[in-house]
Amino acid sequence: MKKSNQEAADKITFKNLRRLYFFALLTIAVTIILSQILVQYNLKQQLSDSKIINVSGKQRMLSQKIVKEVLILNFVTDTVSSKQISHLKNVLSTWKANQQALENGSDSLLFPKEKSETLQKLYLDIKPNFTNIETATNLFLKNLQNEKNLADNTKLVQTILQNEGIFLSKMNQIVSQYDLEAHEKVTEQRRIEYWIFGFTLLVLLLEFFFIFRPTSKKIEKLIAKLLSSEKKALKLAYDTEIISEIKENSVKELKSLNHAMENTLLYCRIAPDGSIIHIGEKFAKLINYTRFSSNKKFSEVLTTDEKEQLNIDRIIFDRQRSGWQGEIKIINKEAQTIWLDISMVPVTIKKNELELLIVCFNITERKKAQREVERLNIENSTEKINQQKIISSKIVENQENEQNRIAKEIHDGIGQMLTGLKFSLESINLDDKEKAGQKIEYLKKLSLDIIKGVRTATFNLMPPELSDHGIVSSLAKLTQELSKLTGKEILFYNKTDFNQRLDSLIEINIYRLTQEAINNAIKYADSTHIIVQLSHSNTLLSVIVDDNGKGFDVNAVDKKRNSESGMGLLFMKERVQYINGRVFIKSILDEGTRITFNIPI
């Protein structure tokens, strides 16, 4: 019960850590996205402000150019050409269009329509001067074109000169106001960036104290549990061997009792000196016992072989108080060899009076069959023992390799990255903004690497999809991850939309079998495409792994049980038999291999 509660608590802890990982990644991603959006928005505003200031400054230049052209046309040039008039009109048109864009906004120039109250007031204040200059210039050009009222042009020039100075002064105020507001926006952006920087740093610190450090401790406990489980497994194997010996002894005793009860027709009672007290009719007929043999000992009646007689007498003498059970070969008067399974049980009749109850079973036919079986199996027995030794050593070796690999991944990968994260956090100098920003970017990347390392380690130990979502989701995730790691095209198809949950032991064995088949295709077959197909019926679940590798001779590999590939197939067959399933292997040289697992559901 406690173990079940502990396992449930561990699952909840890993689920919580996984949620925290996702939340941490989401928080960092949202922070980066918001920061980027804000920066892009402010850059766009700054570009717009820069363009507005540029156009505002250009307005002053254009106003001065208008005044200069008017003065030249009125006082310097004797003959006015249409080209000069056209040029002045173009300058006036540009000046007017820019002023309207600044005042009312422009989508094409990206000038905002909304302005501060100060700018609105300045534009309202400058508008009369702008209107006076525009009106006077238009009248001036009209008079020149029509060559009428030329005397009035001098007054128009005076009007333009009077308003031009005021326009320049007020335009300087507008440019200064734009510059001031742009500076305020930059200051606000800097303040917000500092807030985002502080928030990101806070998130990284919280991740370190509430995610990475607890995860590290949890993994250390997990490694300790694995080592403890290994010790318990070795002790359990030793205890199992002792229990097996005790069980064999108990079976022998029960066997003796069982024969005594079921084969009472072959029995006799003898005295401690070996003389016959009584013998059953069935037994007497078997050993050709007659009344004329009544003065003989039990050993003399049982066999004509003197050595066997001495052996039986010795057993009776040595085991008359402790009893005995065993097999004896006798030769009767017809020279026939008979095997008897004899049980000798001491029975106390009175206080000092002892008898031996002999109960026998004719096992001659069984001996003949047993010898035939031994003859047929004697070659296979040695091979099976060697196979079991190799399997046991491989299991221990694989456990050691897996534990060493996990420990190395944690020490060399996650452990060093966590140490680097700690030192980098301690070395951040907030006074140096540029270097602090660079370190924050480095810390973000290092955090993602640590999360990826932890996910990979936990995935190799026990894929979370297997316990959370079942065999279909875990196989899809397995093929996806192996495809990313190896660069090979590994695809998964759920052909019959199987979505049932199976017993956890069956699911983990199906997962390991599929994983072993894919790894064999990657490691030995030199394949580039691997397809995993899952289908089911009402009573059977099938998993098929196809590859386009170089293939192999199934019979040849099956005979080489001591090779790595042969042992791999043997492990696969034993694992699928453990869940009452079957495996079928079909391979063609230079074409590929298909491995099919059929598991009852």
Give the pairing of strands 529-536 and 489-494. parallel
| Cβ–Cβ < 8 Å for 309, 301 | no
Residues forming a β-bridge with 600: 540
Instruction: Report d(CA 406, CA 225) in Å as an integer.
Output: 13
Instruction: Report d(CA 527, CA 547) in Å as an integer.
Output: 6
| Cβ–Cβ < 8 Å for 543, 596 | yes
Instruction: Report d(CA 388, CA 394) in Å as an integer.
Output: 10
Confidence (pTM): 0.34
Instruction: Report d(CA 520, CA 525) in Å as an integer.
Output: 7
Q: What string of DSSP letters covers 48-76?
A: HHHHHHHHHHHHHHHHHHHHHHHHIIIII
Convert the pLDDT of each residue in 167-199 to its tens digit: 888 888 888 888 888 888 888 888 888 888 888
Give the pairing of strands 267-270 and 276-279. antiparallel
One-letter amino acid for residue 148 of the chain: K
| Cβ–Cβ < 8 Å for 340, 327 | yes
Q: In terms of CATH architecture, what is 463-600?
A: 2-Layer Sandwich (3.30)
Convert the pLDDT of each residue in 469-484 to its tens digit: 899 999 999 999 888 8
In sequence order, what are the residues at sequence separation of 6 or more whose Cβ sits closer than 8 angstroms to the Cβ of residue 180? none
Say if residue 231 is exposed, middle or buried (CB neighbours under 10 Å; 0-12, 13-18, 19+): exposed
Residue 430 backbone phi and psi in degrees, to 5: -70, -20
In sequence order, what are the residues at sequence separation of 6 or more whose Cβ sits closer than 8 angstroms to the Cβ of residue 436? 197, 428, 429, 430
What's residue 498's pLDDT?
94
List C-alpha distances in Å: 306 to 60, 309, 313, 475: 142, 5, 11, 72
DSSP 291: G
* Residue matched to tokens 């640590």: 450
**CATH code of the domain occupying 2-224:** 1.20.120.30
List C-alpha distances in Å: 128 to 155, 166, 167, 266, 478: 18, 10, 9, 140, 77
Instruction: Report d(CA 277, CA 601) in Å as an integer.
Output: 63
Tokens representing residue 282 in the block? 């069935």
What's residue 581's pLDDT?
93
| Cβ–Cβ < 8 Å for 160, 137 | yes
Query: Which parts of the chain sit beneath pLDDT 50?
Result: 258, 260-263, 396, 400
- CA torsion, points 159, 160, 164, 166, in degrees to nearest 10? 20
The torsion region of residue 432 among left (phi > 0), alpha (psi -120 to 50) and beta comes to: beta
| Cβ–Cβ < 8 Å for 80, 144 | yes
Instruction: Report d(CA 133, CA 162) in Å as an integer.
Output: 9
What's residue 126's pLDDT?
86
| Cβ-based neighbour number of residue 547 at 10 Å | 28
Convert the pLDDT of each residue in 410-424 to its tens digit: 655 566 667 766 666
Question: Buried b vs exposed e over 42-62: b needs ≥16 C-beta within 10 Å?
Answer: beebeeebeebbebbeebbeb
Instruction: Report d(CA 538, CA 552) in Å as an integer.
Output: 33
CA end-to-end span of the chain? 28
Can you point out the beta strands (E) in 363-433? none
In 3D space, the residue among 368, 369, 308, 371 whose CA is nearest the CA of residue 342 turns out to be: 308
Residues forming a β-bridge with 354: 348
Binning the chain into helix, strand and coil, the percentages to the nearest 5 are 70, 15, 15
Question: Buried b vs exposed e over 396-416: b needs ≥16 C-beta within 10 Å?
Answer: eeeeeeeeeebeebbeebbbe
Say if residue 41 is exposed, middle or buried (CB neighbours under 10 Å; 0-12, 13-18, 19+): exposed
Say if residue 63 is exposed, middle or buried (CB neighbours under 10 Å; 0-12, 13-18, 19+): buried
Q: What angle do CA 359, 246, 340 make, to 5 degrees?
A: 25
Number of H helices, E strands in the chain: 16, 10
Residues forming a β-bridge with 328: 340
Tokens representing residue 383 in the block? 């091979």
User: Domain spanning 263-362: which superfamily?
Assistant: PAS domain (3.30.450.20)
